Amino acid sequence: MIERRFSEFSQSSAAAGATIPPGTLRAPEGAISSSFDVVAYNKERCVEVDGADVDQMLALMDEGLLVWANVIGLGTVELIEELGERLELHRLALEDTLHIPQRPKLDDYETHEYLVARMPVSTHTLETEQLSVFLAKGFVLTVQEQPGDCFDGIRERIRAGRVRIRESGTDYLFYAVLDAVVDAYFPLLESIGDELEELEDSVTTDQGQDPLHDLTRLKRDLVILRRYLRPLRELTTVLIREDSTFLTPKSRVFMRDCHDHAAYAVDLSESYRDIAAGLLDLHLSLAGQRMNEVMKVLTIIATIFIPLSFFAGLYGMNFDPSASKWNMPELSWAYGYPAALGLMLACAVGMIGFFWKRGWFK
Amino acid sequence: MIERRFSEFSQSSAAAGATIPPGTLRAPEGAISSSFDVVAYNKERCVEVDGADVDQMLALMDEGLLVWANVIGLGTVELIEELGERLELHRLALEDTLHIPQRPKLDDYETHEYLVARMPVSTHTLETEQLSVFLAKGFVLTVQEQPGDCFDGIRERIRAGRVRIRESGTDYLFYAVLDAVVDAYFPLLESIGDELEELEDSVTTDQGQDPLHDLTRLKRDLVILRRYLRPLRELTTVLIREDSTFLTPKSRVFMRDCHDHAAYAVDLSESYRDIAAGLLDLHLSLAGQRMNEVMKVLTIIATIFIPLSFFAGLYGMNFDPSASKWNMPELSWAYGYPAALGLMLACAVGMIGFFWKRGWFK
Amino acid sequence: MIERRFSEFSQSSAAAGATIPPGTLRAPEGAISSSFDVVAYNKERCVEVDGADVDQMLALMDEGLLVWANVIGLGTVELIEELGERLELHRLALEDTLHIPQRPKLDDYETHEYLVARMPVSTHTLETEQLSVFLAKGFVLTVQEQPGDCFDGIRERIRAGRVRIRESGTDYLFYAVLDAVVDAYFPLLESIGDELEELEDSVTTDQGQDPLHDLTRLKRDLVILRRYLRPLRELTTVLIREDSTFLTPKSRVFMRDCHDHAAYAVDLSESYRDIAAGLLDLHLSLAGQRMNEVMKVLTIIATIFIPLSFFAGLYGMNFDPSASKWNMPELSWAYGYPAALGLMLACAVGMIGFFWKRGWFK
Amino acid sequence: MIERRFSEFSQSSAAAGATIPPGTLRAPEGAISSSFDVVAYNKERCVEVDGADVDQMLALMDEGLLVWANVIGLGTVELIEELGERLELHRLALEDTLHIPQRPKLDDYETHEYLVARMPVSTHTLETEQLSVFLAKGFVLTVQEQPGDCFDGIRERIRAGRVRIRESGTDYLFYAVLDAVVDAYFPLLESIGDELEELEDSVTTDQGQDPLHDLTRLKRDLVILRRYLRPLRELTTVLIREDSTFLTPKSRVFMRDCHDHAAYAVDLSESYRDIAAGLLDLHLSLAGQRMNEVMKVLTIIATIFIPLSFFAGLYGMNFDPSASKWNMPELSWAYGYPAALGLMLACAVGMIGFFWKRGWFK
Amino acid sequence: MIERRFSEFSQSSAAAGATIPPGTLRAPEGAISSSFDVVAYNKERCVEVDGADVDQMLALMDEGLLVWANVIGLGTVELIEELGERLELHRLALEDTLHIPQRPKLDDYETHEYLVARMPVSTHTLETEQLSVFLAKGFVLTVQEQPGDCFDGIRERIRAGRVRIRESGTDYLFYAVLDAVVDAYFPLLESIGDELEELEDSVTTDQGQDPLHDLTRLKRDLVILRRYLRPLRELTTVLIREDSTFLTPKSRVFMRDCHDHAAYAVDLSESYRDIAAGLLDLHLSLAGQRMNEVMKVLTIIATIFIPLSFFAGLYGMNFDPSASKWNMPELSWAYGYPAALGLMLACAVGMIGFFWKRGWFK
């Protein structure tokens, strides 16, 4: 999975890189061919068309319905191009939609708002795809890289005829989409939180596998996560504060709610990062401490036996006692051996006592 | 207790997460059923109703009394819903009240101010509950998760008929509530300060239990504490600076006082964090130093004995002196043994002297 | 001394804490009973009254003299209360004066400015006391916790009839007081600088006592010092920039000077902190390096002797040479012993050479 | 290559240094002699002149063509001087063009905008050259140090008659140049990302060469890269926000795109730096861990054998059993040897069991 | 040299400290007696007077010449005082001129601008002196502590009659002085860059002396350097942005150039600091790695010999083979000795193989 993340970076570098001249619409490498779905609704009715075309979409708009158009897959450049021309989308915004990855951002153009975000694909890994959102007077257009998104809740609410979404304008839909993206980060953060909990257990109890790799990986993931989330917090701030033709004051109140969530997600990711760093430090300190314990015990054992072995070696010397009375007379002394054993015992006890007093057995 | 903190995070993730569509009022999991108390007062009189209903509250407001309504427990959604409708509270604020945890924040709506804070539950652990405060023209509504809060002082002052609170408007009550919450963090900080003091003692004197876990825990707690306190500092800044329909200039002076306390709490938590980090570094350095001392002494002992053992081994060799005059003649020399002992002694003294000169006994 | 600092924190927590309801004037625990001194002056004359009362102060003000009133000790609440009423001081400011410690701050009220600072008590330790300063049209009121302050220079200048102070208004006196407080931090910083110099000597020359504790203490002291100084820098910025009824443009020029000093003190404390952290790192690196040197030399000695001891042990084996010609024939070889010695020597020289070549003696 | 980078710094110091008085145009040391190319175009036609002179350039401008003049090499001061005089370029801007290196910056003068950037020379090393860009009403003048740049894409687009560039003014050309420079950093970032990936593999699998030097080098390169990129991000912000005589609102939209790229490059370089730092920490931790494993196993082996050797030495002592019954009677005991071996085995098994129980073999 | 730097701090503390009452002009300790030089010029002529007096200066100003007065040495307070009175310099600025050291700053007074900077004294050490610059309508007054400065280039340009300086006003001279001071830091930065290069070589090749002290010193020097340079960057920002009576818009363009240099110097000092920190980390890691290599090789040698020595000891035991057939029968076995040697060899080879397989020889 690590490779995936890094290759995402590389891909990004290539995409944003020099080879593609500005103004060219070109499908990114490996993009799947696009499908186009439309949900149109107003207070009274709600129409869903899977596999729609642009004419259908415009017809629904002419009927006075609010239209949410969703493009899945960046492979069919013609579709993007046609949408761009007939919905008056700015060329640069279309380019950014196709040149993945972009940094999450909010650009306002004369005829529409353009928002880029990274949408989590999975609740357990850091996989994300780029989501582009166009907000204009009568429609919201979302463009995603792959099938599968976090908008099922919104679709449900539209189908179920929930008053708030059915009676509000496109700006509320825009909020709902953005809010769904922000909220999709929470299960990810939750799974990181759960993993941190488990890691804390394995760090403090020293059970389970070595948490070194996992903690390093979590720290790096949180670095990347923060890189995705911070622009979201910033752009929601902009959406609250600045005037925009496409956002009514009423939906700004909702946007504030979305901003709170984004700010909370950034806060959490930063707290988690601090906690992961603290756990890493604790793990290294504890590992060092345990290692030191081992070394200390072993060294103490070795050190106690070294003088004993010396004495044993001493009385193993072959000096000839018959040569003179100075040559190892203790060897032939009747109590030589018990005395030697006693000497060794005294020496060992003395050293143990010395080490004990110095607190080295603690 | 660690588990609790982390599961609070998880809970938060789940709550703020994608599963709950905006606009739904739903009691959080495990919420206790709500009870509703009302304190109403003006200059002349003061009424307290435990277990009140919304009608009673509105009746008291109609009598011209200022009303402080307090909901304990988030289990009874109907009560929240009724309060929301009859007091004209914004739907989003009601949702935030029930979707715990929220990031501490201040939102102003047309008909009321809405404040979320985390209120410490205990003076010794980092347990907190979410407190929602609604401030409108004639009432203050507080919603807390569990029974037990830090408002007894305010209730006392109202009952005792203290002039300042009885003669001021709801904005002063709002200040009093916020100030009580901020001040409730100080005993917590104090207990952390006390623990730091004890830990400093155990670090510097190397007595008591290992401070590694405690310091890591304190550092993490201070990370979380700062996450609770910083938004409080920010939102009090907003309350001082910005115009609000519901705050009179007079109570803004008091709010400044509350802001000072919040800023002081943030300052303290950051200083404590630096001090805890410093103690942790000191502890690790001291532990390393002590370990090094042990290793050095033990290695010196081993090193001194190694050549001695070599000499002992040397003269324990079984070369046959009778084979030639070159074969270990010292074994049969009259002073061989004393000479060997002398050699060992000289060697030991020489090494000790060398180590001493190099300052390795220091 | 460490205890003092920490208990200051705790005291603070208790004071700012929840137990004291806002609006109550209560002497802090252990406060000494207040004494009240007044210095009154104008261009022509200067009156000093020790142990004055409020009536005398007001009489002097009525004579058109500028009055500097100084309260020493927070024990006599009645005095503070009387001063508050007759001089129209805001209740909240009076409370902050008594509720020690407050964060250094500047509040402007309708009838007066109110400033809180921490004033160093000693030039060598981090002991400080809280100083409250009230600035109004005709007087400056300072309130300190204990006898002894850094204002003797100001008193001298007033007595000596120095033109600048005698002919300026209360705002100049206010500046002089604030400047004296800021300047009182410099001897403290100087003594920290001196200590850093000494510690640098003991770190680099490895003489004197272990600098670990001292450097940790200095780092912590500089954390606390910065917590005292930064608000001073901020509030002097406010005094320069913002309009105030009580400060004339002329004294704003002086205030700028005071701000420069405060900024310089913050700069110094931060540089010192970096330098202390650098010294700590250097000390730990050097200690580790020295330790490694020791371990390396000792391990090399041990390693050289280990094969030698092996050879000695080898020829100390008791295989019976008479059993066969394969059994240790070298023992009875005429040059066996010299050959064994030569083998050992060659082995030792070879290893020393190998280690030398690898650069392990460096 | 390291030397190159550092000498670039030194060169910079010398250039910006005191020796060159302001107002002097002097070629930097080692500059190659300048060549001068001109591309002129409008909607209808496009003229390219290699080795042009200033007269030709002015003639083309008089024909109403937009002119992109490109100077390669800083050696011919006269050319720069002539361009400066006839195109009314500010003296200070000319000086900055020749005094390499400058910090990337944007200065606006009365008659033109002046931009300095560092342009990557290679896609795999951190080599950059200084690019100066002058934007005025009728022309864009670029000055680079060496042949070879990242503008081939722009030249292609002009030649190919692409509408957007051929029909826009000089400000679009200015954007195109700046965008090409920013985009030229992405292959560099990509190659750093690839290298990080490889390094992550060698860190986690512990294969390949030691990543210590490479990671340190990458970290330093990213420090320098950020120093190049951050001013670009800042100056594009200025170009978007502030009014300028030379930039039309239309090209400001494009400039925003360029700003997004610059911001993304800064983000990437900072993320990469964090990741490199994390890998470095992981590498050091893993290396320490592996080392500790080795030491532990070896020490355990040594420790187990130490008591065994002691017993062997004990029974190698030469006390004379015939001197008394206390002197090593076990030597002549019929089962002495097997008992000794059994004792050793028991001792070894006991220690191994003890170590196992303590979890030291994990 | 270290002492010098620290005593500079101390001096500073004392100077800015409480002992000197505001408003007193007093020569700093150890100041040399002042000398006074004047350079006066306009378009046509240029007069230089060494050892001038204030009358001469005023006379030259009356002739309509721009005057650059330079005071060297702070010892003669009377001169400063006279200059202050006759040139209408503000008392506080005069005090700051004498109370060294001040933090670099820019104060504007009614009759003049006042700038304080630290001017490098040497190109290779961090020695600086305080430079005070007064800018008024007809003159620039510079006050430096010691003879020797970085203004020779400016003097040359005035003498040589260079148009730009001779025809501009005092504000250009002011710019030239400030620019010379900023540029004087570059040789210093260059020498630090060179030293870093050399240190990088000795770190990576492990040759030359230990870089630990040098890197620590460089890091500290860069901390101090940044403390000098950052205020210069800030005050040039102020000079560009804010209106001032004494600076014409024309010289603001030049000031921008000076600001660029200051910003570049700050950037360089921060990059260098990061690089020095990176080198320090690399050095410590490499030293640790080398140490670990040594320890590992030595420990492996020791570990291999330990079992061998055990076997040697085993067969050196003196159990009596004649006591029973169980007592060391191998001693009298014909092939006992070769078998023992073979056992040892097998054991050694086995261990080496085991270590090799585990990759411990890498």
Q: B158-182: per-residue pLDDT in tens? A: 998 888 888 888 999 999 999 999 9
Does the beta-carbon distance from C268 to E13 stay under 8 Å? Answer: yes
Phi, psi torsion values for B211, nearest 5 degrees: -80, 0
Domain assignments of chain C as residue spans, ordered by start: 2-285, 315-362
Does the beta-carbon distance from A296 to B294 stay under 8 Å? Answer: yes
Sheet holding E128-135, edge to edge: E46-49, E35-41, E66-72, E139-144, E128-135, E113-120, E105-108
Q: Which residue type does A209 have?
A: Q
Q: What is the DSSP letter of E119?
A: E
CA distance D239 to chain E (A): 17
Give me the residue from C16, C105, C227 closest to B183, CB to CB.
Answer: C16
Please report all neighbours of B, defined by 3+ CB atom pairs within 8 A: A, C
At how many degrees (to 10) do helices D2-16 and E249-314 cross? 150
Q: Which residues contact C33 (CB under 8 A, 6 or more apart)?
A: C73, C75, C76
Model confidence, pTM: 0.79
Residue D209, judged by CB atoms within 10 A of its CB (0-12, 13-18, 19+), counts as exposed
Does the beta-carbon distance from E319 to D340 stay under 8 Å? Answer: yes
Sheet holding D66-72, edge to edge: D46-49, D35-41, D66-72, D139-144, D128-135, D113-120, D105-108
Asked if the peptide bond before residue C104 counts as cis, ω within 30 degrees of 0, the response is no
* Residue E8 in this model has a pLDDT that exceeds 50: no
Sign of CA dihedral A44, A49, A50, A55: negative
Q: Which of B7, B8, B9 to mutate to test the interface with A (most CBs of A within 10 A)?
A: B9
One digit per residue, the tens of pLDDT, for chain D of length 362 reads 233 344 344 444 444 444 455 567 888 888 899 999 999 999 989 999 999 999 999 999 999 999 999 999 999 999 999 999 999 999 889 999 998 888 899 988 889 999 999 999 888 888 899 999 999 989 999 999 999 889 998 999 999 888 888 888 899 999 999 999 999 999 999 899 889 988 988 888 877 778 888 898 899 889 889 889 999 998 998 888 877 778 888 888 889 889 999 999 998 898 898 889 889 888 888 888 888 888 888 888 888 888 898 888 888 888 888 878 888 888 888 888 888 899 999 999 999 998 888 888 76
Give the tens place of pLDDT for each residue, C298-315: 888 888 888 898 888 888
Q: What is the DSSP letter of C247?
A: -
pLDDT at C175: 93
Phi, psi torsion values for D64, nearest 5 degrees: 85, 10
3-state helix/strand/coil string of C310-356? HHHHHCCCCCCCCCCCCCCHHHHCCCHHHHHHHHHHHHHHHHHHHHH
Q: Which residues contact D84 (CB under 8 A, 6 or more apart)?
A: D25, D91, D94
One DSSP character per residue, D233-256 reads HHHHHHHHHS--TT--HHHHHHHH
ipTM of predicted assembly, 2 dp = 0.74
Which is it for strands B66-72 and B105-108: parallel, antiparallel or unpaired? Answer: unpaired
Q: What is the DSSP letter of B99?
A: S
| Distance of alpha carbon D166 from alpha carbon B329, whole angstroms | 106
Give the tens place of pLDDT for each residue, D83-99: 999 999 998 899 999 98
Give me the residue from E263, E275, E313 closest to D312, CB to CB.
Answer: E313
CA distance E348 to chain D (A): 13
Residues in chain E closer than 8 A to C257 (CB atoms): 22, 92, 95-96
Instruction: Identify the closest residue of chain A to D157 by CA–CA distance.
Output: A21
Residues in chain A closer than 8 A to D328 (CB atoms): 337
Report the candidate in D197, D340, D224 with the shortest Cα–Cα distance to residue D279. D197
Residues in chain C closer than 8 A to B154 (CB atoms): 21
pLDDT at D202: 87
The β-bridge partners of D288 are: none
Does the beta-carbon distance from E282 to D306 stay under 8 Å? Answer: no
Q: Which residues contact E253 (CB under 8 A, 6 or more apart)?
A: D90, D92, D109
Please report all neighbours of D, defined by 3+ CB atom pairs within 8 A: A, E
Residues in chain A closer than 8 A to B306 (CB atoms): 306
**Which tokens hold the place of C156?**
């001298």
* Residue E144 in this model has a pLDDT that exceeds 80: yes
B318: alpha, beta or left? (left if phi > 0; alpha if psi -120 to 50): alpha
Phi, psi torsion values for C143, nearest 5 degrees: -125, 120
Does the beta-carbon distance from C212 to B285 stay under 8 Å? Answer: yes
Please report all neighbours of E, defined by 3+ CB atom pairs within 8 A: C, D
Give me the residue from E261, E319, E358 closest to D16, CB to CB.
Answer: E261
Q: Which residues contact E171 (CB under 8 A, 6 or more apart)?
A: E135, E246, E247, E248, E251
Q: Which of D290, D310, D331 to mutate to test the interface with A (most CBs of A within 10 A)?
A: D310
Please report all neighbours of C, defined by 3+ CB atom pairs within 8 A: B, E
DSSP run (H or E) holding A270: helix A249-314
| Distance of alpha carbon A92 from alpha carbon D255, whole angstroms | 11
C-alpha A311, offset from chain centre: 62
pLDDT at D164: 84
DSSP run (H or E) holding C80: helix C77-86
Q: Which residues contact B48 (CB under 8 A, 6 or more apart)?
A: B37, B38, B39, B40, B159
Give me the residue from D187, D299, D327 closest to A336, CB to CB.
Answer: D327
**Which tokens hold the place of C194?**
């001196």
Task: For residue B142, give the 3-state DSSP assignment.
Answer: strand
Task: For residue C255, give the 3-state DSSP assignment.
Answer: helix
CA distance E120 to chain C (A): 19
pLDDT confidence tier of residue C5, bands split at 50, 70 and 90: very low
Task: For residue E150, give the 3-state DSSP assignment.
Answer: coil
Residues in chain A closer than 8 A to D275 (CB atoms): 220, 223
**Which tokens hold the place of E145?**
């502590």
Residues in chain E closer than 8 A to C204 (CB atoms): 213
| Distance of alpha carbon E276 from alpha carbon E272, whole angstroms | 6
**Which tokens hold the place of E243?**
């209106």
Q: Which residues contact C167 (CB under 8 A, 6 or more apart)?
A: C43
pLDDT at D286: 86
CA distance C153 to chain E (A): 7
One DSSP character per residue, A1-23 reads -HHHHHHHHHHHHHHHSTTS-TT
Task: For residue E31, give the 3-state DSSP assignment.
Answer: coil
Q: What is the DSSP letter of A80?
A: H
Give the tens place of pLDDT for each residue, D293-329: 888 888 888 888 888 988 888 888 888 888 788 888 8
| Distance of alpha carbon B251 from alpha carbon C3, whole angstroms | 38
Does the beta-carbon distance from B179 to C2 stay under 8 Å? Answer: no
C-alpha C43, offset from chain centre: 40
Does the beta-carbon distance from C334 to B323 stay under 8 Å? Answer: yes
pLDDT confidence tier of residue C3, bands split at 50, 70 and 90: very low
* Residue C15 in this model has a pLDDT that exceeds 80: no
Does the beta-carbon distance from E335 to C317 stay under 8 Å? Answer: no
Residues in chain C closer than 8 A to B265 (CB atoms): 16
Q: Which residues contact E358 (CB under 8 A, 6 or more apart)?
A: D294
pLDDT at C6: 43
- Spell out the alpha helix ranges (H) of chain D: 2-16, 54-62, 77-86, 91-98, 152-159, 163-167, 170-183, 185-205, 212-241, 249-314, 336-357
Report the candidate in D144, D177, D170, D180 with the shortest Cα–Cα distance to residue D244. D170
| Distance of alpha carbon A234 from alpha carbon D260, whole angstroms | 14
DSSP run (H or E) holding B63: none
pLDDT at B250: 82
Residues in chain B closer than 8 A to C21 (CB atoms): 153-154, 156-157, 162
The β-bridge partners of E119 are: E129
D69 contacts D134 by C-beta, under 8 angstroms: no
Average pLDDT, chain A: 86
E229 contacts E103 by C-beta, under 8 angstroms: no
In the CATH scheme, what architecture does the domain A2-285 have? 2-Layer Sandwich (3.30)
Does the beta-carbon distance from C299 to E299 stay under 8 Å? Answer: yes
One digit per residue, the tens of pLDDT, for chain A of length 362 reads 233 344 344 444 444 444 455 567 888 888 899 999 999 999 989 999 999 999 999 999 999 999 999 999 999 999 999 999 999 999 889 999 998 888 899 988 889 999 999 999 888 888 899 999 999 989 999 999 999 889 998 999 999 888 888 888 899 999 999 999 999 999 999 899 889 988 988 888 877 778 888 898 898 889 889 889 999 998 998 888 877 778 888 888 889 889 999 999 998 898 898 889 889 888 888 888 888 888 888 888 888 888 898 888 888 888 888 878 888 888 888 888 888 899 999 999 999 999 888 888 76
pLDDT at D362: 64
Query: What distances in angstroms separate CA A343 from CA B343, D54, D323, one per listed residue?
Result: 21, 103, 19
| Distance of alpha carbon B119 from alpha carbon E295, whole angstroms | 55
A15 contacts A100 by C-beta, under 8 angstroms: yes
Q: Which of C337, C341, C343 to mutate to test the interface with B (most CBs of B within 10 A)?
A: C337
CA distance D253 to chain E (A): 27
Residue E55, judged by CB atoms within 10 A of its CB (0-12, 13-18, 19+), counts as exposed
pLDDT at B162: 84
Report the candidate in B193, B195, B190, B183 with the shortest Cα–Cα distance to residue B120. B183
Q: What is the DSSP letter of D88?
A: T
| Distance of alpha carbon C150 from alpha carbon C130, whole angstroms | 13
Calculate what percentage of chain B has a pLDDT beyond 70.
93
Comparison of pLDDT for E109 and B244, the residue scoring more? E109
Which is it for strands E113-120 and E128-135: parallel, antiparallel or unpaired? Answer: antiparallel
CA distance B181 to chain C (A): 8
| Distance of alpha carbon A109 from alpha carbon A134, whole angstroms | 10
